[in-house]
Structure 1
Amino acid sequence: MEILFSLFLIVSVWIQDKPKSIEDFQWKNRLVLYFQTGVNSNLSLTDSLEHEIQERKIVYMIFNDSLFSNNDIDFSEDYIKSLHKKYAMGAKGSCWVLIGLDGGVKMRREEPIDWKLIFGTIDAMPMRQSEIRNK
């Protein structure tokens, strides 16, 4: 019986609910929402870029015909439409939004994604400065 209970606990911890909204990331991750228009191609990310993204606790989501992310998420179609409406409304082309740990929009640009600008913006934030000092 103890083995069964232990197995249940392990499986319960292992099988976490997938995030169903961006609010599920608040205080855990920074978000980059990229609403891509035109050609459906996922970003090609080098190992170095992936390391920089991971170091800054960034979860990116690329919205086009489908949703691509570096995190396992479970957003409904209606929720994805609401994100488009809230963050990409009025954009004439591709746009991206940086959302901080607190859930607030820190930057929005109507251009292809600019990781250098994103990293610089994050690195200037007080919480990121604290993370750097504590490492």
Structure 2
Amino acid sequence: MDFNLHTLDDAFAEIDKHCQKHHLPETVCYNIRLVCEELIINLLKHTTATSYHLNLSQENGLTLIRIGYQADEFNPSVVPEKKNKPVEEMEYGGLGLLLVNSLAKKIHYHYDPKQSLNVIQITL
């Protein structure tokens, strides 16, 4: 399922359809929404992308989230170094990505400079 989406609400609607279709537990759906929200907000905020493609699939009991967008190279999965501080003492920025990285079993990012295509795949 590929979607040409423009807003976060578009993604949430497709995530809800995916969760219902595959009868996923609410905790899994919550994590899918959380990860997608963080990544999509970052790509819309920090790149020139105005739309993106979202592909959700299930494989061997795991959820695969694939987000693609055309813009200059920007890897939204890179977590700023937090210098091993407690969360309460960390500066603003990057906390959501820390959460994404802690929820993900695997993260893969690829950039194709010929097409200005960024693709990130998260396995939950």
TM-score, with normalisation over the residues of structure 1?
Answer: 0.25
Task: Return the index of the structure with the highest Cα Rg.
Answer: 1
Higher strand share: 2
